[in-house]
Amino acid sequence: MATMADVARSAGVSVATVSHVLNGTRPVLPHTRQAVLDAVDLLGYTPNTLARSLVTSRTRSIGLAVSAISNPYFTEILQGVEAGALEHGYSLLIADPHDDPEHERKVVQLLHERRVDGMIVAPSSNPRELVAYLGRHGVPAVFLDRLVDAPADGTPAYDQVCAESAEPTARLVTHLAELGHRRIALVAGRPGLSTTRERIAGYRHGLAASGLPHDERLQVHGDSEAAGAERATAALLSLAAPPTALVTANNAMTIGALRALRERGLSVPEDMALCCFDDFAWADLFSPRLTAVAQPSREIGAQAVRVLLERLASPDRPTRTLRLPCTFVHRTSCGCPEGPVPPEHPEQPGKFEKYEKPEKFGKFEKGTDS
């Protein structure tokens, strides 16, 4: 079996240089790096990760705790995390917390016992035990998609990576209002999640910006799942004055809302206009095609890996929250015809593909590293 010393002799470099190339611990000249990689291929060298972990106390593995992995949104996040980890020579251990705070703490403990170097976690609606465990054991971690409230001093205890939620939701509401709708309902996610709070805030801001009152009866919770959204939408349709337009706050709830509308024999957009948060692969295969906010899911996953590796390299650096912009994908479920947005649209005449964030949108600051 080839050794690192054999690779060094074949490439005409030192063992230390081979180590730097394979571990990414120091920049190496491109031609030197290629010589090492060629020698690795030629000799069939396989690094002894177990021996290396005993020496360095690092396993070059990352734990990922994400619920609802079957959801296309989280599947794409997983792909981004996996690609980012692989690019930097890390393996991935995956666990599903099932959005249950107690199970969440257990699976994080399990990952920690597997000696992962750090963790990427999409926290539940009540992550108190999770945060306490990570803090007690000093586990490097990045929170993904859902944010955890900062302590009294306003500085998050952990790095966080997510998409913008409030501004894009407000934009869905204002678009529907521009089309003439006055009773616009929101099917929101599970209470306690940061994404739910932010999308509710965006919904309310969109109503206010459009000169529409907020009616508590038109804001319901679908608990971030299809069945819950189906029940919530049915309740909205049973109102004496039901909404004429819906905003659904994630892709699973969009499916539930569509089922409820179908059960009532209602058509989209003729009987009910619909805009949704989360785009997914088959959203343009529905009839009508779904107008949606698309989150940069793969980029969220890749950025979470980058932020975690930076934390591992510099444990004392200040924590930060990285928010990524969304894309507004205009189709026909909102009631607009096929093609570009009508010319009278005040923000993007003739085109409605990219949701461009303003520098400020009410109280919501432009998303940056903070």
What CATH number is associated with residue 17?
1.10.260.40
The pLDDT of residue 299 is above 60: yes
pLDDT band of residue 157 (cuts 50, 70, 90) is confident
Q: Are residues 36 and 85 both part of a single domain?
A: no
- Reported as a pLDDT band with limits 50, 70 and 90, residue 27 is confident
Tokens at residue 42, please? 């030629």
Q: Is the pLDDT confidence value at 80 over 50?
A: yes
pLDDT exceeds cutoff 90 at 20: no
Q: Please report, for the domain that includes residue 346, its CATH number.
A: 3.40.50.2300
List the one residue out of 63, 125, 69, 129 whose CA is nearest residue 102: 129
H or E stretch covering 55: helix 49-56
Please, which pLDDT band fits residue 1 given cuts at 50, 70 and 90? confident
Instruction: Give the predicted TM-score (pTM) of the model.
Output: 0.77
Q: Check whether residue 208 and residue 336 sit in a common domain.
A: yes
Residue 281 has a pLDDT of 74
Check whether residue 130 and residue 182 sit in a common domain: no
Q: Which helix (H) or strand (E) holds 299?
A: helix 297-313
Average pLDDT, stretch 15-40? 86
Instruction: For residues 192 and 223, state if they share a domain.
Output: yes
The residue length of the chain stands at 370
Whole-number pLDDT of residue 367? 34
Residue 129 and residue 21 share a domain? no
The mean pLDDT value of the chain amounts to 86
Shared domain check, 92 and 223: no
> Contact 32/17 with Cβ under 8 angstroms?
yes
247 part of a folded domain: yes
Q: Which of 156, 123, 159 is nearest to 142 (CA)?
A: 159
The band of 326, judged by pLDDT with boundaries at 50, 70 and 90, is: very high
| Residues 239, 353 within the same domain | yes
239 in the same domain as 209: yes
From CA 352, how far away is CA 328, in angstroms rounded?
Answer: 7
Of 115-119, 147-151, 264-268, 317-321, the range with the lowest mean pLDDT is 147-151
Greater model confidence, 338 or 10? 10
Same domain (yes/no): 141, 206: no
Predicted confidence band of residue 40 (pLDDT cuts 50, 70, 90): confident
Question: Considering the domain boundaries, does residue 370 fall inside one?
Answer: no
Going by pLDDT thresholds of 50, 70 and 90, the confidence category of residue 35 is very high
Residue 53 lies in a domain: no
| Together in a domain, 80 and 205 | no
Considering the domain boundaries, does residue 133 fall inside one? Answer: yes
| DSSP output for 306-345 | HHHHHHHH-TTSPP-EEEE--EEE--STTSPPSSSPPTT-
Give the pLDDT score at 287: 79
Predicted local confidence at residue 258, as pLDDT: 96
Dist. CA 139–CA 203, nearest whole Å: 36
> For residue 16, which of 44, 30, 41, 36 has the smallest C-alpha distance?
36
Domain tally, the chain = 3
At 205-218, the pLDDT tens digits run 999 999 999 999 99
Please indicate, yes or no, if residue 334 is contained in any of the structural domains. yes
pLDDT band at 361; cut points 50, 70, 90: very low
Residue 100 lies in a domain: yes
Spatial distance between the Cα atoms of 73 and 163, rounded to a whole number of angstroms: 12
CA distance linking residue 25 with residue 305, whole number of Å? 16
Q: Would you call 295 exposed, middle or buried from its count of C-beta atoms within 10 A (0-12, 13-18, 19+)? A: buried
The whole-number average pLDDT for the span 162-191 is 97
Q: Are both 212 and 329 inside the same structural domain?
A: yes
- Region 129-137: mean pLDDT is 92
Residue 56 falls within a domain, yes or no? no
Q: Is 292 in contact with 279 (CB distance < 8 Å)? A: yes
Look at 1-15, 175-189, 291-305, 344-358 and tell me which has the smallest mean pLDDT: 344-358
pLDDT at position 358 is: 32
16-20, 147-151, 254-258: least confident range: 147-151
Residues 29 and 17 in one domain: yes
Domain range for 76 is: 61-161+298-319
Cα–Cα distance list, 344 to 25, 68, 121, 182 (Å): 55, 41, 43, 19
pLDDT at 56: 47
Residue 54 located in a structural domain: no
